[in-house]
Amino acid sequence: MDMKNVSNLKLLCILMLCSAFVGCKRSSGSGNVDSATGWKINDKQGGFQYNTNFKEQETPPGTAFIEGGTFTMGKVQDDPMHDWNNTPTQQHIQSFYMDETEVTNLNYLFYLDYLKSVYPPDDPNYALIYKGALPDTLVWRNRLGYNEMMTENYLRHPGYANYPVVGVSWIQAVEYANWRTDRVAELALQEAGYLKRDAQYTDVNAESTFSTDTYINAPSQTYGGNDEVLQGGKRKPQTDADGNPINVYAKRESGIIPVKFRLPTEAEWEYAALGLSELREYNVYRGRKKYPWDGQYTRSGKRVNRGDQLANFKQGKGDYGGIAGWSDDGADITAEVKSYEPNDYGLYDMAGNVAEWVADVYRPIVDDEFNDFNYYRGNVYTKNALNDDGTVKIVSTSEIVYDTLSNGRIIARDLPGEIAKIPIDDEETYLRSNFDKSDNRNFRDGDKRSSRYYRESFDEGVASNENSTRKMYNSPKHMVQVDSVDGKLVRQYDESNNRTSLINDEVRVYKGGSWRDRAYWIDPAQRRYFPQDMATDYIGFRCAVSRVGSKSQSRSKKRN
């Protein structure tokens, strides 16, 4: 074969290899080509737009990553109370993020300052918004103790700035988490160039606010429809082939809008508190931990700080901190966050300091027979309310709905600029096998069918009668209503002697011991409950964020 033919053969092979490479690349779906159709994604001419360069969810501010896994929930070593509400169950938790510390007074004051500036309390239309968010500072009072210093100073004095906020009900904690979601998303969209920089200082008022849900569902109505803010970002405008603007607003597909903040579930909180990461060896847990730290004791065994307390809790009767000096735990009430070493997930004060609200409605048992994946009791499914023309209903300043709680406090249920929510109905539940109603707090426990007296032949009218005792939980029903004449609140106590329980769908779980609890309660598996609309001087909270995408964070090298 002469040299010319050899050269032609080489050229032909090279062309064939290039053709095969291009074909493989196109079919693989890499880059900006859809692997199923071959059509382009993110084409400058228009069409489907998607963030194909998304790498990984950013760690939300102030949080630590908790890699999910399996663990034994409710495994307590001691049960002197004989509550029998901690039957060990095997549960699996998805990866998530959790605040490194409890929400502090400074964090919460920032929230209050925002509400005060956007919804001025001296305006009668908004006075109850700010008032409803205020912590109950009177929780510090004791009929046989002098605690007025804490009543007057604990929330606002700089000396307590980095101490955990208390006097906050479960409902207030949820509202804070919702507010935090909007502020983090607002900043993320500003940094991505979708919103005008510093709009939260120059363009926000009661009629011009940012809501994450509103931005996703009706972005043009965010900030009251203020185009100066909505199109005042630093992004370069994009247009399609006809010159029409595209990508004006960020969507979920952009990967820019953060996942919402919320309260952790009971299972998540307990899993994170245990900090089991150092016990993993060949996918087997060796032994168990009683506390968030190693060992079975509440004092350090390390040579450097042997004998030091490892958490802030009550040592014994009349002993909230120890003898002043070497053996003292450094606090009589709460302690500044990060006063003690974190657990292996980097979380501080998962034992002691303050107990913490979690998302769950309390029941004496955890129903692992029905579900052992991301266990949570408390789902109440809702959907966006729609106007007659099919658009989402945005709450206006004249449509704020307030709830009167059982203790007489009044809170705003929806703030201006947010999307109004309504319970789901037959449109979502018809012929479904996984859920059939909006309110699932009573599912398999506490509803009519959970009663030991239940029979299929029960008459619905009898079962729904308030005087019926067929329900499993028969808790007091106090009444608070507004007098129709003078508009004042009328409080009525339930004085019945026939009540059989304090449990209902408005009591929530709180976890972890506090500064006023004995060591028994700092075991992460211990669980207690408290009315969701009431507050104490020993319950605070921290937030969590769900993880999207991979179970594990990116690693520099592969697993073994």
Distance CA 220, CA 240 (A): 20
Q: Which two tokens stand for residue 488?
A: 């004042």
- Token look-up 């305006």 returns 123
Residues sharing a CB contact under 8 Å with residue 299, sequence separation 6 or more, in sequence order: 306, 307, 308, 309, 310
Burial of 106 (0-12, 13-18, 19+ CB in 10 A): middle
Neighbours of 419 (CB within 10 A): 21
SS3 330: coil
- Which residue did the predictor score with more confidence, 457 or 273? 273
Model pLDDT, residue 455: 65
Residues sharing a CB contact under 8 Å with residue 37, sequence separation 6 or more, in sequence order: none
Nearest 5°: phi and psi at 361?
-70, 140
Residue 381 clears pLDDT 90, i.e. is over it: yes
- Which residue did the predictor score with more confidence, 187 or 303? 187
Model pLDDT, residue 500: 82
Cα 310-520-357 angle, rounded to 5 deg:
85
Distance CA 258, CA 355 (A): 28
* Confidence category of residue 460, pLDDT binned at 50, 70, 90: very low
**Range from 8-12, 36-40, 199-203 carrying the lowest mean pLDDT:** 8-12
Nearest 5°: phi and psi at 215?
-65, -35
- The secondary element (H helix, E strand) that includes residue 14 is helix 3-28
pLDDT average, residue stretch 123-147: 95
Residue 88 clears pLDDT 70, i.e. is over it: yes
Model pLDDT, residue 293: 62
pLDDT in tens, 173-187: 999 999 999 999 999
* Of the ranges 280-284, 305-309, 347-351, the best mean pLDDT one: 347-351
Name the amino acid, one letter, at 43. D
pLDDT average, residue stretch 460-481: 65
Neighbours of 551 (CB within 10 A): 10
- The secondary element (H helix, E strand) that includes residue 261 is strand 261-262
Percent of the residues in the chain that have a pLDDT greater than 90, as a whole number: 56
Model pLDDT, residue 20: 52
pLDDT average, residue stretch 528-538: 96
Q: Which two tokens stand for residue 109?
A: 């004051």
**Range from 68-77, 133-142, 432-441 carrying the lowest mean pLDDT:** 68-77
Distance CA 215, CA 223 (A): 9
Residue 105 clears pLDDT 80, i.e. is over it: yes
**Range from 167-176, 275-284, 306-315, 442-451 carrying the lowest mean pLDDT:** 275-284
Model pLDDT, residue 317: 87
Model pLDDT, residue 11: 64
* Residue ranges per structural domain of the chain: 379-440
- Which residue did the predictor score with more confidence, 96 or 277? 96
DSSP codes, 90-154: EEEE--EEEESSPPBHHHHHHHHHHHHHHS-TTSTTTHHHHHHHS--GGGG-BTTB--HHHHHHT
Model pLDDT, residue 26: 40
- CB pairs under 8 A, 24+ apart, for 302-305? none
Cα 510-516-519 angle, rounded to 5 deg:
80
pLDDT average, residue stretch 4-16: 62
* Confidence category of residue 30, pLDDT binned at 50, 70, 90: very low
Model pLDDT, residue 542: 98
Please, how many CA atoms are within 13 Å of residue 327, restricted to the half-sphere of its CB?
6
Residues sharing a CB contact under 8 Å with residue 350, sequence separation 6 or more, in sequence order: 272, 273, 275, 292, 343, 512, 524
Q: Are 496 and 479 in contact (CB under 8 A)?
A: no
Residue 201 clears pLDDT 60, i.e. is over it: yes
Model pLDDT, residue 16: 62
* Confidence category of residue 31, pLDDT binned at 50, 70, 90: low
Q: Which two tokens stand for residue 369?
A: 């027979």
Question: Cα–chain-centroid distance for residue 468?
Answer: 36
DSSP at 249: S
Model pLDDT, residue 467: 47
**Range from 112-116, 213-217, 521-525 carrying the lowest mean pLDDT:** 521-525
* Of the ranges 131-135, 401-405, 412-416, the best mean pLDDT one: 131-135
**Range from 172-186, 255-269, 324-338 carrying the lowest mean pLDDT:** 324-338
- Which residue did the predictor score with more confidence, 98 or 460? 98
- Which residue did the predictor score with more confidence, 5 or 241? 241
pLDDT average, residue stretch 197-204: 93
User: To the nearest whole number, what is the mean pLDDT of the chain?
Assistant: 85
Name the amino acid, one letter, at 535. A
Choose among 532, 461, 511, 180: nearest CA to 354.
511
* Of the ranges 31-40, 149-158, 480-489, 498-507, the best mean pLDDT one: 149-158
pLDDT average, residue stretch 60-78: 90
Q: What does the H/E/C string look like for 138-152?
A: HHHCECCECCHHHHH
Largest CA distance in the chain: 111
Model pLDDT, residue 488: 80
Neighbours of 465 (CB within 10 A): 11
pLDDT in tens, 499-509: 888 899 999 99
> What are the angstrom distances between the C-alpha of 514 and each of 295, 311, 473, 511, 518?
20, 9, 28, 9, 8
Q: Are 259 and 184 in contact (CB under 8 A)?
A: no
Choose among 333, 211, 418, 192: nearest CA to 200.
211
Model pLDDT, residue 491: 86
* Of the ranges 83-87, 178-182, 513-517, the best mean pLDDT one: 178-182
Cα 462-467-473 angle, rounded to 5 deg:
95
Q: Which two tokens stand for residue 77?
A: 């070593």
Residues in the chain: 560
Percent of the residues in the chain that have a pLDDT greater than 70, as a whole number: 83
Model pLDDT, residue 446: 81
